[in-house]
Structure 1
Amino acid sequence: MIILGIHKDPWHNTGAAIIKEVDNEVQFAFISEERLNREKDSRVFPIKSILACMKQLNINSKDEIDLIVMDHIEDIDWRKDNKTREVIVNDFFKDINEEKIKIINHHLAHACSTFFSSSFDEAAVLIVDGRGTMKETQSLFYASTKDNQINLLDSTDKVGIGLLYSTVSQKIGFGKMQEGKTMGLAPYGRDNNKRIFNFPKEFVGVVTDYSNVVSEGTYTLTAEYDKEISGWDDVATAAYEVQEECEAAFLHLAKYAKEKTKSDFLCLSGGVALNSVSNDKVLKSGLFNDIFINPACSDTGIPLGCALYGYHIAKGRPKSYSTINPYMGPEYSVEDINKAISSFTGFSIYERNAIEKLTEMLIDNKIIARHYGRSEMGPRALGNRSILMNPTIEENKDVLNERVKHRESFRPFAPAILEEFTCDYFDLDRQSPYMLLVPNVNEDKRQVIPAVTHVDGTARVQTLTKERNGAFYDLVESFYKISGVPVLLNTSFNVAGEPIVETPEDAIRCFLSTNIDALLIGEILLIK
């Protein structure tokens, strides 16, 4: 059985995922189109993603696909191309029997992506984003692996916290889909003893209504709330205020989900679930025994949600796996890597004891890039497409920004830690494998890992296990044995404005065009 999930125009972050079942063994492939066409937040039809997933799972023809599942906006023909707005039948679909095509609700795809990726047998599932198929902004589902149920309990099309957060982010100078910058900036406005907006808290059930604050259609602030924002203090205050509002809205929605479902477990999805600070507040509230957020909880994860819907609900297949490994991108052979290396110059090649050499370089405060295995899903690097540095030197945050990343100085970098040391360094009593929780750094460790400790004493943690992270775990462990610190600074392998690197060629090109000192690509280490 082969199920293809597609997220296509007119949405952003298009991509594809395939689930292939052979002799009761389930295989996954997933990638976003931006990784392949190098267009950030790509909106084009994801033909490159589809072909990459087919190649990864040895699918030679689209005729082998049993079902294609997509999300789409209700009043737009699914054949309409976002770029031209002309009604066309894409070449990919022209000879496919339409009985093989299933269109599902956007929020349902989000719900499938997070619940079926979790280890829970049942859970409340909360979706919080901009707009969905029916213009909905927030939805609550109850899900169970018994009969593969995902039932909608409540939904709203009122302007929600996601649209408010996006609107304020643009008001203070950030672009579309740059809400992460607002989250990083917010702590700098915490101690400013003023409020700019004083948002009304109209929270009832699944509704967090900001219709009086955000103008429909234009998604700008209404006249009453379109305040003048001038200077650093105002910008930081506005960021803090909308972040504070996001945390309050999330806590309200979590309480409602608990009251409505009585479940001990919560799954979150939608773009707002990338707000790791709010996620941590929900976890710390104690409303649920545990929460889960898929690393591709934004629209990047919709293709996976569509494929999971097709496999578990449309085809009725039981869940035979515990959780989904996030490393589902294309695999590159030794031949692929050698071919890429031979196309460039400007480095020496080091092929023995790479981990030992990398550890020496990290101790010596060099900037290391890592392109290893299959790429991770979602917008945050989880080790396989990462830039790494020594976290014990406070200046490294600025060094990395100046030499490679070229991004705003107020944005923090993440710590990747050996999971068995998590409690020693952070106020966190469980795993956080996808950088989707932001706990406090323990006070006695803030000066130990200053390069990954944010201004408010928090950190966006990635916990590592040998089983899940393999050679990345080995590298951090090697650093620990020499430094006594089981942590590395981890950030995405890209420069500002570009997608995370995907292919070996992408990796070497970025390595050579920046001041990265060394690149581990597969088992081969390239050193300038």
Structure 2
Amino acid sequence: MSTTALGISSYYHDSAAAVVEGGHIVAAAQQERFSRHRHDAGFPALAVASCLAEAGRKLDDVDVIAYYEDPRLKFSRVLATYLATAPRAWRSFRHSMPEWLGWKLRTLGVVREELARLDLGAVPPIRHFRHHESHAASAFLPSPYESAAVLCVDGVGEWATTTLWHGRDRRVEPLRELRFPHSLGLLYSAFTYFCGFKVDSGEYKLMGLAPYGRPVYAPLIREKLVDIRPDGSFRLDTGYFEFLYGQVMTGRRFAELFGGPRREPEGPLTEREFDLAASVQLVTEEIMLNLAAAAREHTGERHLCLAGGVALNCVANGKLVESGLFDEIWVQPAAGDAGGALGAALLAANGPRDHLGSGGDGMQGARLGPGYDDDRIQDHLDAQALPYRRLATDELRSTVAGLLADGKVVGWFQGRMEFGPRALGGRSILGDARNAEMQSTMNLKIKFRESFRPFAPIVLAEHAGEYFDLRQDSPYMLIVAQVAERRRLRQAGTEHLRGLDLLRVRRSQIPAVTHVDHSARVQTVARDTDPDLHGLLTEFHARTGCPVLVNTSFNVRGEPIVATPEDAYRCFMRTDIDALAIGSFLLLKSDQPPWHEDTDWRGRIPLD
């Protein structure tokens, strides 16, 4: 009889829940999608209820609760850090200790109380695993490999910041570990903070900013901030950072090193920020390549699995693929803390890896959240007296492909919701990648975010090689590749351009998804994993000769990806999206009644 496990991550960043039965992942979702608070770190009550509902289970049917880290071991690191930095860290110590002594030390008891409050049955026994152990399990156990090297790289768990594992059969065996405060995630977050972005959410922005600059500060980073060693390890000079002492990442010494104070949030971007982003990105790639080389040497494996927040740096992942160190890499699509809930559930269930027989992975395209059938969607539309057309599958795809070919932007709400930070075709906004104005239109009029932010392409897997220099499939939008040379355009007289002026240059036949360095964060779409999206791309390809579309998450800046039909319609009406394809229904903006809200919704949403 198989074990049913409910995994939980909570209280620090991106809380989530997951249900695993034996070796099969049944459901996984982040709390933010339901609470509508981005990066919600509270107890994931709504995510738990959703995952149990998807599984058709109550708590009575669950054999074990799996928590993703060890609270007491985490407390030992927090306390040791305060003792080592006293009295300088007194203010932070005074602020955080009451929480630790009041409830964080008994987190597992709090989890039990919260689950009991849901009134979904008796709470089963609770087990905990270590933070990086949960990451490692989430990376290897659903992967398509019988065995693999496993790297987990993030800010910090309990003590570990970087770990190497050997995945074989149903197990992940620990091999090497780097400990706090020597952390690649915290190094990258320090530059995120210094460049005026929010830590734990602005790292994507820093990565997107990097191609606009030159890595002129990279030698200084290597000389002063991080000692990169031949064995793959590294050490930070903590005297330049402030994260040991409180809530900020950098202070006076860091500012002196880089020529002045940190950029104020929402302040103008200057050449310094472009160059800082380029520099820390280059150093990050170097460290990841060193770690990967060490993983190859220590395990002898030809496949690599990745998890932890740094594994979401898809530019570095692309460099790993290009390096040829491994035949192939596989990245957990929910690589951050949310994925820890899944990893813990997989460890507790300890079931067979049946997906290996199919030749694919166990993540099911990351479509692990709730889905809504046509009856549920129609009930909502009819209750609000909203005008729509109900179309057969082929007619819906044909009509939407025509709208996209005509330059329209379409909200695409189909099937189950994705697990992880990327929209993969379940909750997406789509546009024509050939349209040179599409990037600025989507950024400024739909996403309400900075103009420099790049968009990602989705491409038919069977045609990916015609447009991108991609050595392997990239189903989870976690690998950056170069746009193929034959698709690029040459424009003379642009060599002198710097910074955001580079946005004015049309670089390829698919300019809306070609970044300023000719790169793109590619998602390959296969028929067997996403027939809806594959069918739409096939129809668009037949109409236009182009198998590529823009895909961005169905949300606006500062808001989580939409979860429900109600969320989707609200986002549709708040933005300049032209049409909404939701289940079998198509809604055109021009047909909708006027949209009114009593308050200014943009003023209520945090900028990050």
Structure 1 residues 7-406: aligned runs within 5 Å: 7-21=8-22, 26=24, 28-59=26-57, 61-75=58-72, 85=103, 88=110, 90-93=113-116, 100-133=125-158, 135-145=159-169, 148-157=170-179, 158-177=181-200, 178-190=202-214, 197-200=220-223, 201-204=226-229, 205=231, 207-212=233-238, 213-215=240-242, 216-218=244-246, 220-221=249-250, 223-226=252-255, 227=258, 228=260, 232-312=270-350, 317-322=351-356, 323-324=361-362, 325=364, 326-344=366-384, 347-352=387-392, 353-406=395-448
Q: Distance in 2 between matches of 1:27 and 1:107?
A: 20
Does the Cα contact within 8 Å between 2:212 and 2:278 map onto a contact in 1? Answer: yes
Structure 1 counterpart of 2:254, which letter?
Y
Q: Distance in 1 between matches of 2:135 and 2:28?
A: 15
Q: Distance in 1 between matches of 2:8 and 2:233?
A: 26
Cα distance, 1:91 vs structure 2: 3.7
Q: Distance in 1 between matches of 2:434 and 2:114?
A: 53
Determine if the alignment matches structure 1 residue 451 to structure 2 residue 475. Answer: no
Structure 2 counterpart of 1:495, which letter?
V
Provide the aligned C-alpha RMSD in A. Answer: 2.3
Q: Distance in 1 between matches of 2:433 and 2:138?
A: 33
Q: Secondary structure at the match of 2:480?
A: coil
- Specify which structure has the higher proportion of helix: 2
Corresponding residue for 1:6? 7
1:316-351 Cα distance to aligned partner (Å, 9 max, x none) = x32111312111111212222112212435644343
Cα distance, 1:93 vs structure 2: 4.4
1:302-322 Cα distance to aligned partner (Å, 9 max, x none) = 11111111122xxxx321113
Q: Distance in 1 between matches of 2:462 and 2:375?
A: 36
1:182-210 Cα distance to aligned partner (Å, 9 max, x none) = 000001012x7566943334234453211
Corresponding residue for 1:478? 539
Moved more, 506-515 or 93-102: 93-102
Cα distance, 1:161 vs structure 2: 1.2
Cα distance, 1:481 vs structure 2: 0.5
1:242-264 Cα distance to aligned partner (Å, 9 max, x none) = 10111011011111111111111
Structure 2 counterpart of 1:391, which letter?
A
Against the structure 1 CA distance between its residues 398 and 16, is the aligned structure 2 distance closer, same or farther, given a 3 Å change threshold? same
Q: Distance in 2 between matches of 1:387 and 1:71?
A: 32
Instruction: Report the number of matched residues.
Output: 514
Q: Distance in 2 between matches of 1:256 and 1:217?
A: 32
Does the Cα contact within 8 Å between 1:327 and 1:376 map onto a contact in 2? Answer: yes
Moved more, 439-448 or 472-481: 439-448
Any gaps of 5 or more consecutive residues in structure 1? none
Corresponding residue for 2:492? none
Q: TM-score, normalised by structure 2?
A: 0.80
Structure 1 counterpart of 2:45, which letter?
I
Q: Distance in 1 between matches of 2:309 and 2:217?
A: 28
Moved more, 160-169 or 5-14: 5-14
Q: TM-score, normalised by structure 1?
A: 0.92
Against the structure 1 CA distance between its residues 371 and 391, is the aligned structure 2 distance closer, same or farther, given a 3 Å change threshold? same
Against the structure 1 CA distance between its residues 504 and 203, is the aligned structure 2 distance closer, same or farther, given a 3 Å change threshold? same
Q: Distance in 1 between matches of 2:35 and 2:123?
A: 28
Does the Cα contact within 8 Å between 1:8 and 1:44 map onto a contact in 2? Answer: no
Does the Cα contact within 8 Å between 1:154 and 1:206 map onto a contact in 2? Answer: no
Does the Cα contact within 8 Å between 2:218 and 2:282 map onto a contact in 1? Answer: no
Does the Cα contact within 8 Å between 1:197 and 1:225 map onto a contact in 2? Answer: no
Q: Secondary structure at the match of 1:321?
A: helix
Q: Secondary structure at the match of 1:439?
A: strand
1:41-67 Cα distance to aligned partner (Å, 9 max, x none) = 0111111111111111111x2111111
Tell me which structure has the larger Cα radius of gyration.
Answer: 2
Q: Distance in 2 between matches of 1:439 and 1:179?
A: 19
Structure 1 counterpart of 2:188, which letter?
Y
Structure 1 residues 403-418: aligned runs within 5 Å: 403-418=445-460
Instruction: Could you list the structure 1 runs, at least 4 aligned residues long, displaced by more than 6 angstroms after superposition.
Output: 94-99
Q: Secondary structure at the match of 1:10?
A: coil
1:429-488 Cα distance to aligned partner (Å, 9 max, x none) = 221001111011012213210110000100000001110111100101101101100000
Any gaps of 5 or more consecutive residues in structure 2? 76-97, 264-268, 489-507, 590-608
